Structure 1
Amino acid sequence: MTKKAAIAAIALLMTTSSLSYAAETSSTGGVGQLSATDMKSLTDMRVGIIKAALQLTPDQEKLWPAVEDAIRARAKNRQARLERIAELHDGAMDPLHQSNPVELMQRRADRLIQRGADLKKLADAWEPLYKTLSEDQKKRMSFASYVVMRGMSDVIEHSIEPEDDDD
């Protein structure tokens, strides 16, 4: 792994650990502890780390905007889902006592459909670029993706309810 990618991974881990601590110690509790600004910062870091790790060639750089757009759209939609969950909690909606179980299943299904569509768009955006990557770039992509997803998972796990825990 290159020094640039290692530095980026360390920066992510250092930053996400402080965001994780902030999420854990937030007095608001529950869903949506990370602000839209925090989520944008995490997304910016994720994009930066992956791009730095890949060390794209000029020809590959031309394929990057579609990937970055898909990453950002997926993150934006995830933030919107978290905000909707937070709104439900702000309305003092107790899912076990005040809600129709069928409605709960329908809302969950809608979120899963949206997440699936977002993931499909991301995979479709990555496919042309991935085909051009060298074996070394593919290894760096795998490692960077793991580090990024693990770091984001640690931060986000503290700010969502179990209802949306498989994102």
Structure 2
Amino acid sequence: MTSNWRHLPPAARAIAVASAEAVEAARARDEAAYADAVERLGGLDPEQTGRVLGAVVRTLLEQRHPDGLDGDDIRAALEHAVRSAGQWRDVDPQVMVVLLVGALGIHETDEDAPVPPRALAAHAPLLIEDLLGNRGFAELLTRAFAEIERAEIND
């Protein structure tokens, strides 16, 4: 898995490796491996990690709904992800909401209590795993990094 990301700078590589391991552990329902990967993911820069995982979630939502999303689509995605993540302890539907709306560019207001980065790191791979279905994660992660790079170049 690490060899796929050697071309990335160290910070991006760490996000890629921890994310891929967390998604694979979620897919395998391996709680010990998931906890380990989430611990590493949660210890990385939350802004960078959020941009990468948010780009993956956004891409998955766009692929599922090429004609656009509405509130019912988001609610259905949320309900399915929460049900799918049911085996995992401490799954918080509100954190899943923050991940979904954040990936779509809708951000919480100043009045909302921010979600701790470790909670986001613990929930994002579960949401991604649910949205992935049987598709591979590596290709989407590569697309996310390319999208972020393009945005930085154009800024």
TM-score (norm. length: structure 1)? 0.29
Greater gyration radius: 1
